[in-house]
Amino acid sequence: MKISILNKGLFDQKASAVALGFFKEDVKKKSFPSNWKKGLTSKIATVFSQKDFIGKSGEAYLLYPGDKAFPSRILLFGLGEKKNFSWEKYRRAVARMTKRLDATESSSITIALPGEKSWAEFNPLKAVREGAQSILLCRYSFNQYRGATKKKEPTVKPVHFSLVRKGNSSLLDKEIKKGIILGESTNLTRDLINHPSNYLTPTRLGQIASKCGDKKKLKTRVLGPKEIERLGMGGLMGVAKGSDEPARFIIMEYLPNKGLEKPLVFVGKGITFDTGGISIKPSPNMDQMKYDMSGGAAVVGAMAAISRLGIKRNVVGLIPTTENMPSGTAYKPGDVLKMYSGKTVEVLNTDAEGRLVLADALAYSLKYDPAGIVDLATLTGACVVALGEHAIGMMGNDEKILKAVEEAGNNTFERVWELPMWEEYQEQIKSSIADIQNIGGRGAGTITAGAFLKEFVEDKPWVHLDIAGTAWTDKEKPYHPKGASGVGVRLLTDLAANWKRNK
């Protein structure tokens, strides 16, 4: 996909379509950049005078100048009021402009970015990076499994960014490449989640993880059932007992500063299909349970992005992956499992399987003596009830890493909301016959799941992210199609990029 900086003047080229973003204040004042041609500004000013376009956020007006001196199509796009503008609104605006012009017969698109006089926080480097990322994300589609109804893929139109203040072109090109890598890595995660579970098995997830990212820098190992059993991962093997598909434990190591700093460790739940096991789920919407590996997919995407971007931080990704199926060999309510850490767990509900596989991976992460641990999982329906699809539930044991994750969430608009981790919640998971039990009762289901995981990280800085509500959407958004959102990739990558070294 070609995304580049326009080195010529905005109207000194033969673009067939140009998108021009306007704040409401600029429309009211009929304010235009000084380098725009007067013949064009007079045409646009007429539209402003007629109040056919007022600059409201998301508003669009397609203008056909009818003059060979100008592009054949000019999209006027509303950015709303300056005081309310943000980088997230900018991402959405670029996505909407791109999709609107992709729907026309234009052969190329030029997007004119607001200049420093129009937007006080304008940063050209960030603008092209976030814009490129948004274009990749908004153009995503998943049509691999259509047969007779498969539509012809539309021609991908090149996009150029035009800036009032260009800055160093080589730096701008680098930032565009960063945005493309983030977009491609998020779309990789979306693909993994959207694949049906008869294709995306634990085995295939391991194969894909082994091939992604910068293979010279990112070293991936995939352990099979015998190796997992030798490690004593009773949680992962216990859940895997009900499936004919063999479990896998994926270990992704990116260590550019090996021996010089403690790594960040990302752990992702990789349940490629979740029936609930013996505690079987209701039939409606069970097809969506292919997305129960969204945490693992996010870790794969983030590790791919981090290695391709060459971020100078040691990062390890761990993905325990299996299916949760009911069968004659499946683990049962009332069973007791011995975990990798040595702790024993009484299973009261086999549909609380994600925390069992995560617990083994979290305990395994301690061998790296990590500076911080972040796990991601579509863990509880209770989190969807509490926060809907707009926020990730966050819990943890260390203020510094909690703050760093919150900041990364705000930077990427993959926002988190912290839930309490009081001692009383730990009481709810005490077992009468084992060390702990895998559910804590009906109340505070999201928090008691976090309390369970806390038992396996000892005193290491740790954050748990419940992405059950944010990993999947049934409603199309500006740069999120229906289905898998790819949430977590950009958050984890931002966290790694801005993490302060802890030796």
Each residue of 40-49: pLDDT tens digit?
888 899 999 9
The predicted structure's pLDDT at residue 443: 93
What residues does CATH 3.40.220.10 cover in the chain?
3-146+156-162
Q: Is the dihedral of CA 484, 359, 388, 78 positive or negative?
A: negative
The percent of the chain in helix, strand and coil, each rounded to the nearest 5, is: 35, 20, 45
Q: What is the predicted pLDDT for the residue at 225?
A: 98
In this predicted structure, the answer to whether residue 118 has a pLDDT above a threshold of 50 is yes
Which member of 281, 332, 338, 415 is catalytic? 281
Q: Which candidate in 248, 355, 460, 490 is catalytic?
A: 355
Question: Residue range 488-500: average pLDDT?
Answer: 96
| Cβ pair 388, 468 in contact under 8 A | no
- The CATH class of 182-498 is alpha beta
- CATH topology assigned to domain 3-146+156-162: Leucine Aminopeptidase, subunit E; domain 1 (3.40.220)
Confidence class for position 115, pLDDT limits 50, 70, 90: low
Residue 100 is a catalytic residue? no
- pLDDT tier for residue 454 given thresholds of 50, 70 and 90: very high
pLDDT class of 376 with cuts at 50, 70, 90 = very high
pLDDT value of position 503: 44
The share of the chain scoring above pLDDT 90, in percent, equals 78
Q: Please tell me the predicted confidence (pLDDT) of residue 265.
A: 98
pTM exceeds 0.75 for this model: yes
Q: How far is CA 165 from CA 53, 108, 116, in A?
A: 26, 22, 7
Tokens of 104: 């026309």
Instruction: For residues 357-375, give the mean pLDDT.
Output: 98
The residues near 158 (Cβ < 8 Å, ≥ 6 apart) are 1, 2, 3, 4, 108, 109
Annotated active-site residue 355? The verdict is yes
Is pLDDT at 135 greater than 60 in this prediction? yes
Give ranges for CATH 3.40.630.10 in the chain. 182-498
Give the pLDDT confidence of 165-196 residue by residue, as tens digits. Answer: 666 788 999 999 999 999 999 999 999 999 99
Answer whether residue 35 shows pLDDT above 70.
Answer: no
pLDDT reading at 398 higher than 60: yes
